[in-house]
Structure 1
Amino acid sequence: MTKQSSALVITKDGSEVRKLRLLTGFFVVIFGVFVALPGLAQTYNFNSIQVDGNQRIDSTAIVNYAGIARGTPVTAGQVNAAYQRVLDSGLFEEVEVQPRGNTLVIKVVEYPTINRISFEGNRRLKDENLTQLLESQSRRVLNPATAERDAARITQAYAESGRLAARVTPRVIRRSDNRADLVFEVFEGDIVEIERIGFVGNQNFSDTRLRRVLNTKQAGLLRNFFQQDTFVNDRIEFDKQVLRDFYLSRGYVDFRTLSVNAELARERDGYFVTFNIEEGQQFKFGEITASSDIDGVETALFLEALSLKPGVTYSPTVIENSISRMERLALKQGHDFLRVDPRITRNDRDLTLDVDFAITKGPKIFVERIDVEGNTTTLDKVIRHQFRIVEGDPFNPREIRESAERIRALGFFAGAEVNAREGSTPSQVIVDVDVEEQPTGSLALGGTFSTNDGLGLAVQFRESNFLGRGQSLGLSFSTSTDIRDYSFSFNEPAFLGRNLSAGFRIEYQDLDPSEARFTNSVANFEPSIGFQLGEHSSLRLRYTLARSEIEVSDANAVAGSIIDAEAARGRILKSSVGYTYRYDTRRSGLDPTRGYLFEFGQDFGGLGGDYTFVKTNARAVAEARVWHEEVTLRATLEGGALHSPNNDSRIDDRFIVTSRNIRGFEPFGVGPREIQPGVQDDALGGNYFAVARFEAEFPLGLPEELGITGGLFYDVGSLWGLDQTSANVLYDEFSLRHVIGASIFWDTPIGPLRFNFTRALQKEEFDREQTFDFTISAQF
């Protein structure tokens, strides 16, 4: 009985002999069948078992594989089963079992030992990457089945990179001393791109909007820069879930992906992917109630803690956030082990969902301990700080899930799994945290260009998990024609082990405007501390110590001018304390299509130093996506006021309006100016400014993979007010400037580009208008 188990191509001394062996094995098997037919019922009793042909494998081991005992009657079927067991061991290329009287002869041909493993034909995937996929190893016995599995894994790796036509053939080259080289011949083939992604059944959102949701992208003109325009089945499955989450967060509770069709083009060089979906109706929240049969629980207090109101578009995220708020309130009131179960009643007539938050008593389970594994760099305390519970606290499954999300949001880990299992008693659980570290440092080299500041260079180093302590460290340098900026920053997100962030920033800026008579250098040291006030609000406190100096060369001096008088005061030391309050719902509000930001900050100078002042800044931003989320509308109101009790502010204290505030004007192009024709034209800045900006961004009908969108904007604002003035000062009073314009946004692989075309509808005579502005920021 003989069987060949390898489908590999084997060569010896440069010639193929595999076919001959296959034919020989075939005739031996046929011969064995005919010989065995007359004696199918025959039994054998072997007094001895003889093993031939083995070199590395001990005879006793082979007899054990066969499983036939000496002196015990066996049938022909049992002899055949013994043959199969020896062959299935995977150690032998050929096996032959022959009864010879009272002796059972087992002849084997051992598989060779792998001398070395190599790859041929691979260019896209390197040898070291392919080696990590292999189960076969050098100096181990060659197993054809294992080699075939290795080839399949390599083929799958190419398929995941979009090369579906890739083929991998394992070949064995015989060497002396029963050794062999295992070579994987790779035919990589071409990338199979996704030529188009389409949707069937979408009524409320366009194909363009839905394509922006997906992780998979269409191939385009810049396809060499994209990594996700190839067809991968696993990615399509992920996209189905992402698409469902998108619709659910917008109230489409009946959304379904009926099917996904992926058709290969006739030329086999691209896929056409079509998502067949069913949107259903959009639901809003109806009646919101709370109920409980637990003594001492006042449901009215729980309802007051919710920000959820009827008429808001339904979203599972809103439900989760509401439950978290109610459970935190229960802990504050001393109610442990309370659970909130949302019970939803559907009203198809008015397309609403009534939600009753049922407050119930959960099982009394405690956290026995929290085990952290896999953190080779990050300290345990950094991970444990993301938990709002400690050992001995009541167990809350929702809190465990939220802790897992916070750990992943750190960005320190390639993977993070948090699971709970039963502890030493049924009333205790052990929380297992398993993380996989990833690099957290980055070095960015950037280039900037704008029509204002010219060409610039930016270098930034950042480490977000310094020494595994979760601290961030940053060092940056940037320069342009008019500005040189150097900074160093450090931040501790868990100061004193609490939910406080503390850090400092050191910055030096050298301003040398090409069209101004002066230069200005400012050095700052700013320690600060920040903390959360609520779900969307935060407060940051700071102290600032600054040194500034204004210089005017003798060649540019103008006797009696305001700038020269300010420069004559020399170096000024400023010491101030301040705060910034921030409320932001743009990323985590109830409605995913709209949100707003409000910021208010003040700095109070005079705690030492040479300058006493109060400086106030405020900003409000509202953002909404309309017309089926195709158009983004944005409105910004911004203003500031500087109060100097001694009327001694300088230009580096006052506000300067740039294109970030009012588009269509050069830096120092708006506001009070001191002018003597042919002698001076000095921008002075202002003590007050107020700006309103309105902007719409929309698609231009171009393929979305190009990343090109358009925009229209309208800016209106003013900069005014001085402590000291003269007969040569203009525009000291409030005077509005009105600007309209159009923008082209291009999100390119080398960085975002923005082109602004502007026209001032209303301006002053000596304002410096800028009708075109182009900016680019790149990292490489």
Structure 2
Amino acid sequence: MNLGSTMRASRVLEQCSYYRPGLKGLAFSLLLTTAWVAPAQHAFAQQYQFNTVRIEGNERIGDSAILSQAGIARGQAVSAGELNDAYQRLNNSGLFESVAISPQGSTLEITVVELPTINRISFEGNRRIKDEALSAVIDSTARRVFNPSLAEKDANSIAEAYSNDGRLSARVQPKVIKRNQNRVDLVFEIFEGDNVEVERLSFVGNRKYSDGRLRRVLGTKQAGIFRRLIRRDTFVEDRVEFDKQVLRDFYFSRGYVDMRINSVNAELTQERDGYFVGFNIQEGQQFQFGQVTVTSELNNVDGDAYRDILKIKPGVVYSPTLVEAEIARIERQAIRDGIDFMRVEPRVTRNERDLTLDVDFVLSRGDRIFVERIDIEGNTTTLDRVVREQFDSVEGDPFNPREIRQSAERIRALGYFETAEVNAREGSTPEQVVIDVDVEEKPTGSLNFGGSFSSSDGIGVAVSFAEQNFLGRGQKLFLNVTTASEARRYGFRFIEPSLLGRDVSLGLELDFSETNSSFSSYDSTRLTFRPSLSFPVSENGRLQVRYTAEEIEATDRDDDETFAGGIIANDIAAGPLTSSALGYEYTYDTRRTGLDPNRGVLFRFSQDFAGLGGDQEYIRTVARVIGEQKLFNEEVTLRATLEGGALAWGGGTNRALDRFTLSTSQLRGFEPGGIGPRDTASDEGDSLGGNLYVVGRVEAEFPLGLPEEYGIRGGVFYDVGNLWDLSDVNLSGGTVAGESGSFRHVIGVSIYWDTPVGPLQFNISDAIKKEDFDREQKFEVTLQTQF
């Protein structure tokens, strides 16, 4: 039996700096070891029985605890092997720096040197990662026994956290500082090092899509001019794995079902401060849908009836997402038809000659498995019902794996959780499953301070508070204050996305704004209260019903430099007027759910009927349709917009503040209210607005050949618009120009710059057809930022 290992524990603390056992302690340990080794050589088969156990050196740990850990009782007969086992148990307990056991006749002497207690833990040299984040990745805690091996493990965990942050050269050194009463301070000295950036993202084998287009798909970005403000240009191995998956999804959704990523090479630069990352891919051929059929293996189900509800047509580019959508559509129809446990299996047949994929949706009887219960864990703030509302299934419903996967995606899309895992396991019987939902919450509130600038409102300060998960109920709360030099706005908005547990959204909006625009000779105030309900009416359609109460007032400016014409004077004399209106808005949007990921349509149509009380009576109608198409391998985005509005006046005072005016976002090339009927008798030539308007816009956005990491793209546009009609308006005291209206035409170029603190857009325009009284604006820049 070799007991020389008694010194092993005394060497443990030497792994950390500033902790060295003294020579006196070392000599004492050697003496005890020598005293034990000599008699042990004659006691191989000897039995010991101790009437007395004497324990020395312990301060914090009681005698009974040490005896219990050793497993030796007074008066118990033990062998030399059992004494060695007792020594090993004490030595491996993680409580002692050193242990020595020495039998002295009928007395067993146990001498221990306790490991110190951690007084406090601190971090030095960390700037990139805060103390709170580092504390979460270590296992050592204050007021616990110091364990050198655990400290080394914690140092490695901290270094790994820095590695995931792109700082591969980070070094972490654990050190201990002795304090009185056998306590130590544990200090992690950190050298963060520099970020290892992604100097170049390149692709080999891509013929259909350019490197720039594929870079926009990836989460990893090339280091650019804003490298100190963004963190996605650092090399993180886990992010590269994610990039491989999104790259596959990008190609698969566009019909390239044979796309393969052969390899991903990441090479350090010679200076070891950056990576060259290259994706070696094989695109393959693009496939389209061929024949789409439905085959029923159920006696009471007609496959042709389900074929009629499918939206996929031959010739459409193949996408697994579209196949999943059709499966969901068939399953929903089956539930409406009272058919449970229907299984829909897509069977795909390749046609290499014409590059098509025939899809046969086979309807069969699935296993009779029910949802026993849904268990939710990890949500300390979010209520269980918020998570449960994302499931279409409840306890007792038939189990549908595809539906559970979609529910998991909806939970992740809420934005309330850092991670969300949804898994199914067998329940109390083989015919039942339990759905386990394990989430990790993240902060959902934000307080933002920022600035804004626009050519219409001037420079301002913006303060906003947003809570996406108010009181853990999934409700949204927004407060904002914007104070620009020519416009001030104060707003409150509340949204309940699932009223009474259904897909019905309740909104409450309260807004107050006041303007003293340099584009007019008068000031204005507007107070709006608007509750609303929104709910789906079709797969891509949604309907909102609302009530709007407004009080609007035009006021004379407190200066002697401007004079409001007689028409505006009539509006000012009317004082504050209120309106009470019921309205609705229908929205049809295929930009995310359409058959083509490169094409989408947004259509909105709304009407408000005022006259349910208040001073005004009118019907306001607004319609807008937007079409978007990506061309030339998705390098160019072509966008077309057509919108118009009509105001049918019924009673009250029809003022300029009630009528339509065109902003720079609707018709570029002119000031806000720069076209349309105008009171030429006033000093400012005030815009009077109009009861009717129509605007069309066509624009193209494209790369400029600059490095993609600069985030600069170019564009051209053509706008045409008209604003006219002053029916039911008191025109006394004024001189009106442009009442009958005419179409204005504008061409221009745009520069789009995606900065880390917000989008910046420059518009340079020229009105090629206009009226003499119009107010042009050849250059426009808009920046809205939060920081």
Q: TM-score, normalised by structure 2?
A: 0.88
TM-aligned CA distance change 1:134 to 1:504, over 3 Å = closer
1:779 partner amino acid: Q
Provide closer, same or farther for how the CA distance between residues 506 and 172 of structure 1 changes in structure 2, counting only shifts above 3 A. closer
Give the drift of 1:580.
0.8
What's the secondary structure of 1:309's corresponding residue?
A: coil
CA contact (8 A) 1:696 1:712 kept: yes
1:663 to 659, 662, 668: 668
Specify the code of the residue in structure 2 equivalent to 1:766: F
Q: Which residue of 2 aligns with 1:600?
A: 605
Q: Is the 8 A contact 2:693 2:722 kept in 1?
A: yes
Q: Partners of 1:115 and 1:608 in 2: how far apart?
A: 71
Q: Residues 108 and 571 of structure 1: is their aligned pair in 2 closer, same or farther, counting only changes over 3 Å?
A: closer
Q: Once the 2 structures are TM-superposed, how far is the Cα of residue 739 of structure 1 from its aligned partner?
A: 0.9
Equivalent position to 1:750, from 757, 769, 772: 757
User: Cα offset for 1:745?
Assistant: 1.3
> Could you say what secondary structure the match of 1:225 adopts?
coil
Pairwise CA distance, 1:340: 0.9
Letter in 1 for 2:503: N
Identify the residue that residue 48 of structure 2 maps to in structure 1.
47
Residue aligned with 1:147, SS: helix
Q: 2:739 — aligned with what?
A: 732
Can you list the C-alpha shifts for 1:690-721, whole angstroms capped at 9, x where unaligned? 11111111222223232221111111111122
- How far the C-alpha of 1:584 sits from its partner, in A, is 0.6
CA distance in 2, matches of 1:243, 1:496: 40
1:577-588 alignment runs, 5 A limit: 577-588=582-593
Look up the match of 1:364.
368
Higher mean alpha-carbon deviation, 352-361 vs 412-421, is at 412-421
* Residue-pair matches, total: 769
CA distance in 2, matches of 1:439, 1:395: 33
Greater shift, 171-180 or 648-657, is seen at: 171-180
Distance, in Å, in 1 between the alignment partners of 2:122 and 2:482 is 47
- How far off its partner does 1:776 sit? 0.8
1:773 maps onto 2:774 in alignment: no
1:623 is the counterpart of 2:628: yes
Displacement of 1:52: 8.1
| Correspondence list, 1:283-294, <5 A | 283-294=287-298
Match of 2:142 in 1: 138
Partners of 1:20 and 1:159 lie apart in 2 by 43
User: 1:651 is aligned with what amino acid?
Assistant: A
Q: CA deviation at 1:404?
A: 2.1
Q: Please name the residue that 2:4 is paired with.
A: 2
1:761 aligns with 2:765: no
- The match for 1:652 among 649, 657, 660 is 657
Residue in structure 2 matched with residue 437 of structure 1 by the alignment:
441
Are positions 1:253 and 2:257 aligned together? yes
> Which residue does 1:428 correspond to in 2?
432
Q: Aligned ranges for residues 194-233 of structure 1 at < 5 Å?
A: 194-233=198-237
What displacement does 1:350 show? 1.7
Question: How many angstroms apart in 1 are the aligned matches of 2:313 and 2:344?
Answer: 18
Secondary structure in structure 2 of the residue aligned to 1:252: coil
CA deviation map 1:207-246 (0-9, x unaligned):
2222222212222222110122222221221221122222
- Aligned residue for 2:708? 704
- Cα deviation for residue 122 of structure 1 reads 3.4
Structure 1, 633-642 or 433-442: larger mean CA deviation: 433-442
The separation in 1 between residues aligned to 2:457 and 2:759, in whole angstroms, is 17
Give, in whole Å, the separation in 2 of the partners of 1:613 and 1:15: 85
| Contact 1:47-1:103 at 8 Å conserved across structures | no
Cα RMSD of the aligned pairs, angstroms, is 3.6
Distance 2:297 2:784 in 1: 60
For 1:53-92, what aligned pairs fall within 5 Å after superposition?
Answer: 55=58, 56=61, 60-61=67-68, 63-64=70-71, 87-92=91-96
1:382 aligns to what? 386
Residue 469, structure 1, aligned to residue 476, structure 2: no
Please, which of 396, 408, 413 is the counterpart of residue 412 of structure 2? 408
Compared CA separation, residues 713 and 651, structure 1 to 2 (3 A): same
**Deviation of the 1:775 alpha carbon:** 1.0
Which secondary structure does the structure 2 equivalent of 1:681 belong to?
coil
Work out the CA distance in 1 between the residues paired with 2:177 and 2:523.
75
1:5-24 alignment to 2 at 5 Å? Answer: 6=11, 9=14
In structure 2, relative to structure 1, the CA distance for the partners of 1:550 and 1:107 (3 Å cut) is closer
Offset, 1:540? 0.6
Provide the rounded CA distance (Å) in 2 between the counterparts of 1:646 and 1:170.
80
AA in 1 matched with 2:422: V
Q: For residues 142-200 of structure 1, what are the alpha-carbon distances to aligned partners after superposition, in whole Å with 9 as ceiling and x for unaligned?
A: 33322221111111112122221122223345556655443333332222222222222
Distance in 2 separating the partners of 1:260 and 1:80: 54
Alpha-carbon distance in structure 2 between the residues aligned to 1:511 and 1:138: 58
Gaps of 5+ in 2: none
- Contact 1:10–1:171 under 8 Å retained in 2: no
* Letter paired with 1:760: A
> Are 2:574 and 2:653, in contact at CA under 8 Å, matched by a contact in 1?
no
8 Å CA contact 1:372, 1:434 repeated in 2: yes
Look up the equivalent residue of 2:402 and give its one-letter code: R
Query: Are 2:569 and 1:564 equivalent residues in the alignment?
Result: yes
What SS is found at the alignment partner of 1:435? strand
Deviates more, 1:664-673 or 1:443-452: 443-452
Structure 2 SS opposite 1:683:
coil
Q: Indicate which of 721, 726, 730 corresponds to 1:722.
A: 726
Are residues 1:610 and 2:622 paired? no
Identify the residue that residue 575 of structure 1 maps to in structure 2.
580
The 3 A distance-change label for structure 1 pair 174 and 412 is closer
Corresponding letter in the other structure for 2:617: T
Q: 1:480 is matched with which residue? A: 484
CA 1:539–1:84: 2 relative to 1, 3 Å? same
TM-score by length of 1: 0.89
- Distance change in 2, residues 1:565/1:603 (3 Å): same
Give 1:729 shift: 2.6
Structure-2 residue corresponding to 1:454: 458
- Whether the aligned pair in 2 keeps the contact of 1:11 and 1:173 (CA below 8 Å) is no
Give the letter for the 1:730 counterpart.
Answer: A
For residues 149 and 713 of structure 1, the distance between their equivalents in structure 2, rounded to whole angstroms, comes to 60
Alpha-carbon distance in 2 for matches of 1:225, 1:294: 60
User: C-alpha displacement at 1:513, in angstroms?
Assistant: 2.8
Please identify, of 257-266 and 640-649, the stretch whose mean Cα deviation from structure 2 is larger: 640-649
The amino acid of 2:777's aligned partner reads: Q
2:133 is aligned to: 129
- What residue in structure 2 maps to residue 530 of structure 1? 534
Question: Whole-Å Cα distance in 2 between the matches of residues 128 and 528 of structure 1?
Answer: 42
Identical aligned pairs, as a percentage?
A: 54
Alpha-carbon spacing, 1:84–1:286, altered in 2? closer, same or farther (3 Å): farther
Q: What does the per-residue CA deviation read over 1:743-763, in whole Å, with 9 as the maximum and x for residues that have no partner?
A: 111122222211111111111
Q: Unaligned 5+ residue runs, structure 1?
A: none
CA distance in 1, matches of 2:370, 2:668: 59
CA shift at 1:326, angstroms?
0.7
Q: Which moved more, 1:212-221 or 1:92-101?
A: 92-101
1:158 maps onto 2:162 in alignment: yes
CA contact (8 A) 2:295 2:361 kept: yes
Shift of 1:501: 1.6
**Are the equivalent residues in 2 in contact too, given 1:10–1:173 (CA < 8 A)?**
no
Q: Which residue identity is paired with 1:776?
A: L
Quick one: distance in 1 between partners of 2:125 and 2:22?
24
Aligned runs of 1:145-184 on 2, under 5 Å?
145-173=149-177, 179-184=183-188
Distance in 1, matches of 2:379 and 2:19, equals 53
Asked whether 1:638 is paired with 2:640, we answer no
Could you tell me how far apart the structure 2 residues matched to 1:617 and 1:453 are? 24
Describe the superposition over 1:448-477 as per-residue Cα deviations: whole angstroms up to 9, x where unpaired. Answer: 112232112222222233333322222222
Structure 1 residue 645: Cα displacement? 4.6
Report the residue type matching 2:737 in the other structure.
L
Change (3 A) 1:581 1:21: same
Indicate if the aligned counterparts of 2:519 and 2:672 stay in contact, CA closer than 8 A. Answer: no
Closer, same or farther: CA 349–46 of 1 in aligned 2, 3 Å: farther
Q: Which amino acid aligns with 1:580?
A: E
